[in-house]
Amino acid sequence: MNFIFLMDPLESVMMEHDTSFIFMLESHRRGYKVFFLPEGGITLLNGQPIFLVTEVIPQQVKDKPFLLKGQKRLEEKDVDAIFIRTDPPFDHRYLMQTWLLDRVSPRIPIINRPSGMRTVNEKIWATQFASIVPPTMVSCSRAELLKFIQEHDEIVAKPTDGFGGQSVFRIHRGDLNTNVILESLTHLYTRDIILQKFIPQAEKGDKRILLLNGEPLGAISRVHAPGDHRNNIFAGGKAVATEITSRDREIISILKPKLLEFGLYFVGIDIIGDYLIEVNVTSPTCVQEMNHLYRVQLEKQVINFVEKLIKDSRRI
């Protein structure tokens, strides 16, 4: 079988941490051909998608995680599954890629479905579930943002399209830096941002739960480095073992029907205390961290699931 991975440049891959890499490696172990699809590598010709790809062989060699086997031009008939693994921001190019991938035959599973990725903004979509998210505001209004901050002793401010812990600020009521933080995040009050009430349990870290087809695949806690409030691993946080609680399962049960409806098969949710913070659908990570902590190989379950999707889709 031929698997395509739409992802960031190969030279950006951190072999020891990258979830895309471990999926590619497991695919290769099973004898499948693995193809790297760069941004801009999709062409639509008379309504039919064409993929300009590079065949790669993933290998666990730190300084050379990929052997390149040359560029190819694949048509739909040559493709068995597509993984969308490019990092946010969800900008015009990202949006264009999802539109082009909408033209792919339903015979070819896409993880995750492009239309679902357009629907679920990773930070805003969860706000509809008021019973499981902390008090939250999305706005670019200076007056409304300042009012929200005054109503809460401490808040977290972040952009709507950030990732990896970038541009996340913790603001105390009365903080002298409040105005400059808001001005910077909103680009002088021209872009919406997110404010959320600070959850005290964040001092002990947050929890990343990976979902496969709406069910828990694994979980870790991410604990911030000394001198930083951000728990994200790519912002210096550390992964530690954790358990999935009854409250976590309640949150998952609320999300599952919507995720499955939108074809969002591989998803990462972030939980602090009893609250859902984000739903990550673009390129969820932490598979390798979970593998190391629990001595498992979660990528096997993911590729097993993709194989089932392929089998089921060919019955259409």
Ramachandran class of 273: left when φ > 0, alpha when ψ lies in -120 to 50, beta otherwise: left
pLDDT class of 165 with cuts at 50, 70, 90? low
225 vs 235: CA distance, rounded Å: 8
The one-character DSSP state at 10 is G
Q: Which residues are catalytically annotated?
A: 123, 158, 208, 222, 230, 270, 278, 280
207 vs 298: CA distance, rounded Å: 17
Query: What's the chain's average pLDDT?
Result: 92
Ramachandran class of 201: left when φ > 0, alpha when ψ lies in -120 to 50, beta otherwise: alpha
206 vs 242: CA distance, rounded Å: 10
Q: From the options 3.40.50.970, 1.10.10.10, 3.30.1490.20, 3.30.310.80, give the CATH code of 135-198.
A: 3.30.1490.20
Cα 220 from chain centroid? 15
One-letter identity of residue 105: S
Distances (CA, A) of 111 to 8, 216, 266: 16, 17, 7
Taken in order 178, 180, 186, 189, the sign of the CA dihedral is positive
Where would I find the H helices in the chain?
19-29, 92-101, 114-119, 142-151, 178-186, 246-261, 287-294, 298-313
Per CATH, which fold does 2-114+303-313 belong to? Rossmann fold (3.40.50)
pLDDT at site 52? 98
Provide mean pLDDT across the span 23-36: 98
Extract long-range pairs of 291-298: CB within 8 Å, 24+ residues apart: 291/22, 292/239, 293/220, 293/239, 293/240, 293/241, 294/218, 294/241, 296/218, 297/26, 298/210, 298/217, 298/218
Per CATH, which fold does 202-280 belong to? D-amino Acid Aminotransferase; Chain A, domain 1 (3.30.470)
Q: Encode pLDDT of 57-80 as tens digits.
A: 999 998 899 999 999 999 999 999
Structure tokens at 138: 């999305």
Asked if 117 and 41 touch (Cβ cutoff 8 Å), the reply is: no
As annotated, the residues of the chain forming the CATH 3.30.470.20 domain(s) are 202-280
Provide mean pLDDT across the span 194-212: 92
Closest listed residue to residue 82, CA positions, set 266, 274, 269, 295 = 266
pLDDT class of 203 with cuts at 50, 70, 90? confident
pLDDT at site 84? 97
Asked if 80 and 2 touch (Cβ cutoff 8 Å), the reply is: yes
pLDDT class of 49 with cuts at 50, 70, 90? very high
Provide mean pLDDT across the span 217-245: 76
Four-CA torsion 234, 235, 237, 238, nearest 10 degrees: 30
Q: Does residue 225 surpass a pLDDT of 70?
A: no
One-letter identity of residue 3: F
Q: Encode pLDDT of 226-236 as tens digits.
A: 655 455 555 55
